[in-house]
Amino acid sequence: MTRPKRPTVYDVAREAGVAASTVSRAFGNPRRVNAATRTHVLEVAERMGYHPSPLATALQSGRTATVAMLVPDIANPHFFGPIRGAERRAAAAGITFILGFTEESADAERDQIARLSRSVDGFVLASSRLPADAAAELAREHNLVLVNREVEGMPSVVVDNASGSAQIVDHLASLGHRSLVYLSGPHASWLAGERWRALSTGARARGMAASRLGPFAPQVAGGGAAADAALVSGATAVVAHNDLLAIGILRRLAERGVRVPEQVSVVGYDDIFGADLCSPALTTLAGPQEEAGRAAVEILLTAGAQHASGDGPRRLVLPSHLVIRESTGPAPA
């Protein structure tokens, strides 16, 4: 591997018979250069194989043309959508995309932000585990956009959990269920709180009993304990914090000889890859997760304009819809 010496603005300037600053403008400020000059400079640059150094540009201008996305755990297929959407949007804008995993830890999140802050223009925080005050604090010094998390004063894009949870309750009620139990995710999870709130509100409105158990690890492995606890509760419908947990519950139920949906109905959140593979196929709340990642980067890229407009931070709520498969059915008589 040998790195050939690359041409600089000066090389191009000399060759094109202009000043280095003109070359710079030709690339970065097209309108501040005579069109003809610009074309000529670009031709020469092309011929010489010149490409601006992102590093030097960033050092001088302060703009890095890079965004970072921080995700709790890549092993959860749920994050595919947001990651992919964010990467695509960044790539489309010629923006470099940095990905970091935080292992479900708020500290790791903080560390990564600190470490990367000089190298990026902003961060997309997916399902951030940061406490609201810590997030708001960080938002003062960094450009942050939240995905599937909301914090007062910060821009965010979420898939609608309130309406989604209401859809779940409606579905269950229409099947004759009189009680449900929510098997909750981590305490630090904002989503868990949101979901429970909407679920219990909706249940009350329909005269259903609702209880919350947990926290459980939001992974397939967490399903054992969750299923056992759910059975004890006596509820005929269980709503799991996410599909991973729901799949784990399905397994445990099968092991214990409990039939789904005849004896118990099971619902998940996210509609991850695999939700329609398991048996019975999982009823779950789906949403435009890829779009959420895309929109987050979009907001990041237009952050300057937003601030200027004085509208306050943007908050996007994307519509969700319940996908009904085989894991939900009429309440047992």
Partner DNA sequence: GTGAAAGCGCTAACAG
Partner DNA sequence: CTGTTAGCGCTTTCAC
Sites of contact with its own copies (CB under 8 A): 1-4, 6, 51, 53-56, 58-59, 64, 66, 74-75, 77, 80, 83-84, 87-88, 91, 94, 96-101, 114-116, 118-119, 139-144, 247, 273-274, 277-279, 303, 307
Instruction: Pick what 9 binds: DNA, its own copies, none; C-beta below 5 to 8 Å, kind-dependent.
Output: DNA
# residues contacting DNA (CB under 7 A) = 31
Residue 6 binds to DNA (criterion: CB under 7 A): yes
Q: Which is nearer to DNA, 50 or 123 (CB)?
A: 50
**Phi, psi angle pair for 144, to nearest 5°:** -120, 140
Residue 116 binds to DNA (criterion: CB under 7 A): no
Instruction: Pick what 142 binds: its own copies, DNA, none; C-beta below 5 to 8 Å, kind-dependent.
Output: its own copies
Q: Which is nearer to DNA, 33 or 239 (CB)?
A: 33
Q: How far is the CB of 157 from DNA (least distance, A)?
A: 29
Query: Residue 294 contacts by C-beta under 8 Å, 6 or more apart in sequence?
Result: 85, 86, 88, 89
Instruction: Give the dihedral sign, CA 200/201/203/204.
Output: positive
Q: Which is nearer to its own copies, 34 or 111 (CB)?
A: 111
What is the CA angle 244-248-249, rounded to 5?
115
Q: Which is nearer to DNA, 4 or 310 (CB)?
A: 4
Rg (CA), the chain: 25
As a whole number of angstroms, the distance between CA 66 and CA 28 comes to 16
Q: Which is nearer to its own copies, 169 or 275 (CB)?
A: 275
Q: How far is the CB of 25 from DNA (least distance, A)?
A: 6
Q: b/e string for 232-268 if b means 16 or more Cβ within 10 A?
A: ebebbbbbbbbbbbbbbbbbbbeeeebebbeebbbbb
**CB contact at 8 A, 287 and 164:** yes
Cα–Cα separations (whole angstroms), residue 103 to 71, 97, 108, 151, 282: 8, 19, 7, 21, 26
- Closest among 270, 273, 266, 255 to 325, alpha carbons compared: 266
Residue 19 binds to DNA (criterion: CB under 7 A): yes
**CB contact at 8 A, 290 and 260:** no
Q: How far is the CB of 144 from its own copies (least distance, A)?
A: 8
Query: Residue 90 contacts by C-beta under 8 Å, 6 or more apart in sequence?
Result: 67, 96, 97, 297
As a whole number of angstroms, the distance between CA 225 and CA 183 comes to 10
Q: Which is nearer to DNA, 36 or 305 (CB)?
A: 36
> What SS3 class is residue 125?
strand
> x/- site string to DNA, residues 23 to 42, per CB under 7 A?
xxx-xxx--xxx-xxx----
Q: Which stretch binds DNA (CB under 7 A): 7-15, 155-163, 274-282, 283-291?
A: 7-15
As a whole number of angstroms, the distance between CA 251 and CA 255 comes to 6
Contact with DNA (CB under 7 A) among 46, 59, 115, 319:
59
Q: Which stretch binds DNA (CB under 7 A): 50-58, 93-101, 104-112, 306-314?
A: 50-58
Which helix or strand (DSSP H or E) is residue 146 part of? strand 144-147
Q: How far is the CB of 224 from its own copies (least distance, A)?
A: 15
Site for DNA in 128-187 (CB under 7 A): none
Contact with DNA (CB under 7 A) among 14, 15, 48, 57:
57
List of residues contacting DNA (CB under 7 A): 6, 8-10, 17-25, 27-29, 32-34, 36-38, 50-53, 56-57, 59-61
